[in-house]
Structure 1
Amino acid sequence: MKPFLFVTDLDHTFVGNDSALVQLTQMLTEHRREYGTKIVYATGRSPVLYKELQEEKNLVEPDGLVVSVGTEIYLDGSGTPDAAWSEILSVGWNRELVLSITEKITELVPQPDSEQRPFKISFFLQQEVSANVIPLLESELEKYEVNVKLIYSSGIDLDIVPRSSDKGQAMQFLRRKWKFAAEQTVVCGDSGNDIALFAVGNERGIIVGNARPELLEWHSDYPADHRYLAQDTCAGGILEGLQYFGFL
């Protein structure tokens, strides 16, 4: 057995199938202790909402925590974001300018203050108007040549983040830092904001059986041999995929 880098989304991926979560957590914890495997959570949640989930589900402490859709990385339980990652994201990021553009679009409803982060501006955007609003917002941002990208997921959440930021690029940053090959890295997800995890390289990918339509559609459009579509849901699907790839 070799160590591997395990990177997973939380809601409806790692969490959501309680009996399988207990089994998966036990296996990962043992693998980390015996072989040096690294556990990383990559979530759209802010640090505040992550802490709530961690306490509610008694989640094992990760080696790396990627929160706020890849805009912050915390290592080894530190309460301070990783400075090297923050420095990468700060290039060309202009929060005030983005806010001045978004406030003119009434369909964008700001999310709570806990979800507004140094490198993330978040809104609720109803799915029925998103097809009109997103292109409009993109064209306004392009006029000012702002270094950003939009991430729309779950039919409601719109995040504006630096172009160099997402779960996938955060994962690659940690993979290089800890010197794991792509073949020794596995990523797991269920929704649109996880596409970045699967699209960035040749890492082994597990799409859980309860994946949302936007991820399944992307998987169908861009099939790959190094990606596994599980039958079981959440942690059960992850267990299935880890066994399929021979990590466990």
Structure 2
Amino acid sequence: MAKFLFVTDLDNTLVGDDDALEQLNQQLLQHREEHGTVIVYATGRSLPLFEELRSEKPLIEPDLRVLAVGTEIYRQDGDTPDPTWASQLNHRWDREKVRAIAAQFNDLTPQPQSEQGPFKASYFLEEAASKEVLACLEAELKDQGLDAQLVYSSGHDLDILPKRANKGAAVAFLQQSLQIPKERTVVCGDSGNDLSMFQANHSRGIIVGNAQPELLNWHHENPSGDRYLAQSHCAGGILEGLKHFGFIS
């Protein structure tokens, strides 16, 4: 057994099965104490919504938090985003211009102000309209010279982010700063906003058994021995995957 970098989404990945979460927490706490394993939560939630979840569920204290779909990184229990990461996200990013373009699409409904950020413009978008809207929106952003990406997940959440900002890019940034290699990194997720962590191919990957169709379809179309599709749901699936890769016994 040796130190590894453990990165997990929260809603419907780490959280969703309280009994399995308790078992996983015990394993992770022991592994961190004995081997120095680094625990990272990577979620689409903003800092206020993360704190809300932490008050509702028995989450162990992480070493790092990757919030707002990878656009903010917080170290330890601080409430100020990592400035080095933030400085990398400005390239060809103009949030006000992004918002002005998005306002042209009637199918986009802005999410609450708490879910907006300097490097994140978030909307609700119904799945029935998503294919057409996403294609047109992406083309318009490109035509306007904006280096942006669209992250659509769970059939209703759309995040417009700088090209350099997503969960996968944030994980790569942490691997470099912590000097932890791919073979000692594992990422866990269930939906489209976790896709970048698996696409980056910078780690082992665990997809929980209750994953959304958008992630499952991509997984089946892009098979990899570095990725494991669990049968169990939520934290139970993470436990299953960690044992599969030999991170825990």
Shift of 1:202: 4.0
Aligned position for 1:109? 109
d(CA) in 2 for partners of 1:51, 1:152: 23
Aligned position for 1:61? 61
d(CA) in 2 for partners of 1:82, 1:202: 21
d(CA) in 2 for partners of 1:196, 1:211: 15
d(CA) in 1 for partners of 2:96, 2:80: 23
Q: Is the 8 A contact 1:73 1:82 kept in 2?
A: yes
Aligned position for 1:211? 211
d(CA) in 2 for partners of 1:19, 1:132: 41
Aligned position for 1:119? 119
Letter in 2 for 1:127: E
Letter in 2 for 1:235: A
d(CA) in 2 for partners of 1:223, 1:201: 12
Q: CA RMSD in A?
A: 0.7
d(CA) in 1 for partners of 2:123, 2:4: 35
Aligned position for 2:10? 10
Q: Structure 1: which 5+ runs fail to align?
A: none
d(CA) in 1 for partners of 2:82, 2:202: 25
Letter in 2 for 1:193: N
d(CA) in 2 for partners of 1:98, 1:213: 28
Q: Is the 8 A contact 1:202 1:226 kept in 2?
A: no
Aligned position for 1:24? 24
Shift of 1:139: 1.4
Shift of 1:236: 0.3
Q: Give me the identity figure in percent.
A: 55
Shift of 1:163: 0.2
Aligned position for 2:99? 99
What is the count of residue pairs matched by the alignment?
A: 248
d(CA) in 2 for partners of 1:12, 1:128: 23
d(CA) in 2 for partners of 1:160, 1:76: 27
Letter in 2 for 1:11: D
d(CA) in 1 for partners of 2:34, 2:77: 20
Q: Is the 8 A contact 2:92 2:145 kept in 1?
A: no
Aligned position for 1:152? 152
Q: Deviations over 1:45-68 (max 9, x none)?
A: 111111100110021111110011
Aligned position for 1:228? 228
Using the size of structure 2 for normalisation, the TM-score is 0.98
d(CA) in 1 for partners of 2:181, 2:142: 36
d(CA) in 2 for partners of 1:127, 1:39: 33
d(CA) in 2 for partners of 1:214, 1:103: 26
Report matched runs for 1:39-188 at 5 Å. 39-188=39-188
Aligned position for 1:192? 192
Letter in 1 for 2:187: V
